Amino acid sequence: MGYTVTAEGLDISTPIGAQAFEARVSHAAMAACQEISRRFHDARPGDAECARQATENAMAQVRQVEQAAAKGK
């Protein structure tokens, strides 16, 4: 399962834009984990840990996008 997160409408080359983008990623991770829990009632780990791990895994890509945006300024 995957959710697409865009930086549309954000200037991720700025700290505020990057923070908003990271919040979008975190919210998408939680939504995905909650969907997994709804579909699979015995899913492990729980929603919070699932979202933490999913967000952590996504942050490598987020950092690359943010760095590219900062260089392109």
The 10s digit of each residue's pLDDT in 34-57 is: 999 999 988 888 899 999 999 999
4: left (phi over 0), alpha (psi -120 to 50) or beta: beta
Cis peptide before 45 (omega within 30 of 0): yes
Beta carbons within 8 Å of 10's beta carbon, 6+ residues apart: 17, 20, 21
User: CA 35 to CA 37: how far, in whole Å?
Assistant: 5
Residue 73, pLDDT above cutoff 80: no
Asked whether residue 11 carries a pLDDT value surpassing 70, the answer given is: yes
Residue 41 is predicted with a pLDDT of 85
